[in-house]
Amino acid sequence: MKVYLDNAATTPMDPLVFEAMVPVLKDGFGNPSSTHFFGRKIRSLIERARKNVAKHLNCTPGEIFFTSGGTEADNMAIQCAVRDLGVRHIVTSTIEHHAVGHTVEKLKAEGLVELTYVHLDENGHVDLQHLDQILSTCPKTLVSLMHANNEVGNLLPLERVSEICEKHGAIFHSDTVQTMAHYRFDMKVIDKVHFLTCSAHKFHGPKGIGFLYVNKDIQINPLIHGGSQERNMRGGTENVYGIVGLSKAMDVAFENLIAHKEYVIELKSYMIERLNSSIEGVAYNADCNNLARSLYTVLSVSLPPTDIAPMLLFNMDIMGVACSGGSACTSGANAGSHVLAGIEAPVDRPTIRFSFSRFNTKEEIDYAVDCLAELYS
Ligand SMILES: Cc1ncc(COP(=O)(O)O)c(C=O)c1O
């Protein structure tokens, strides 16, 4: 049996998405910047996709900029905010994805910004009082805090954070790569958020495509210079197949969002129950077994100390279960995770992250738990 429980790293493409992309892959070869028929036909696909994405987010198409994925979108938001919006101070956390963490560290190393890390509480949640306190003393600040953590699943109250940022005139960027198309975003409601990011391969779309949402109140210049694509905001011939796939993946996700969410929550709760009754001393990192305050697709399991800790992931892989030790970069090697260090997870307890999608089944969960229990027997 082969079981894929690493959906926070990437998800399998939905067949409906694949079908939507095929005609474009076969016949949609025109360059969208060409003014002749072949180009115009493809340009219209891009603009239709942009409108569709904007409809799902309840924003305007002009606020959506397609990128090569989440990493580029995070980079664009942060680097352009510093360069174009007079930001001299960034507030972030120690558990951000490297797309954010390494970007802000680079800006600090170049002497362009001061960096402050907001405190996390005992469950790994951002301490909002501390955030409020930091912002009350710092002008021209960018706050970059992820909506859901990709390793331990903690959720940030986006609206509340956006209100705190607004109170102090800070710009707010949230890495929503793990939550886009897993939750509804209504940009007319969370209208104080300035930047959001998306990556299609996290919700059964293709890899190498995503977008940056830029609130209409914010004016930035391109990060990637070249042609006049994306209304002069990102040079480079557009990834048309990807854009069409991303748009379709959003349609499929939002059409049955509640049903998919309930189904996956059921899988996650089932796995918690099965683990609790199969492995003595099992625990959960941060707040990921708190269903109300964690991303429903992620379960970060803290296992009892064992001599075979370095071999756990390898053995699970041999038994046919794909899971991860932390972020995707550490899959297959139980390398140290800055997130687990950031939440001060006990170093003697190995972590396995299981992450789910609507394509998983209870039988797969049973199999994965049985394999892990066997390793612990
Ligand atoms: C929270 C988060 N941000 C950013 C990224 C990067 O996205 P992409 O793979 O599209 O570059 C990921 C992917 O693992 C992620 O989980």
Q: How far is the CA of 6 from the centre of ligand 1 (A)?
A: 13
Q: Does residue 253 contact residue 260 with C-beta atoms inside 8 Å?
A: yes
Per-state percent for the chain, helix, strand, coil, to nearest 5:
45, 15, 40
* pLDDT, one tens digit for every residue, the chain (377 residues): 999 999 999 999 999 999 999 999 999 999 999 999 999 999 999 999 999 999 999 999 999 999 999 999 999 999 999 999 999 999 999 999 999 999 999 999 999 999 999 999 999 999 999 999 999 998 889 999 999 999 999 999 999 999 999 999 999 999 999 999 999 999 999 999 999 999 999 999 999 999 999 999 999 999 999 999 999 999 999 999 999 999 999 999 999 999 999 999 999 999 999 999 999 999 999 999 999 999 999 999 999 999 999 899 999 999 999 999 853 334 444 458 999 999 999 989 999 999 999 999 999 999 999 999 999 99
Fill in the amino acid letter for 200.
A
Q: How far is the CA of 373 from the centre of ligand 1 (A)?
A: 31
Local structure of 47: helix, strand or coil: helix
The pLDDT of residue 332: 42
Q: Measured from the CB, is residue 97 less than 6 Å from ligand 1?
A: yes
Q: How far is the CA of 177 from the centre of ligand 1 (A)?
A: 6
**Distance in angstroms (rounded) separating the CA atoms of residues 245 and 19:** 9
- Measuring CA to CA, which residue among 324, 305, 328, 304 is closest to residue 314? 324
Question: Strand pairing of 283-284 and 141-144?
Answer: unpaired
Q: Does residue 320 contact residue 3 with C-beta atoms inside 8 Å?
A: yes
Mutate to test the pocket of ligand 1, among 93, 144, 202, 300 (most ligand atoms within 8 A of CB): 202
pTM: 0.96
Q: Domains in the chain, ordered, with CATH?
A: 3-12+256-375 (3.90.1150.10), 15-255 (3.40.640.10)
Q: Does residue 166 contact residue 190 with C-beta atoms inside 8 Å?
A: no
Q: Measured from the CB, is residue 177 less than 6 Å from ligand 1?
A: yes
Q: Measured from the CB, is residue 175 less than 6 Å from ligand 1?
A: yes
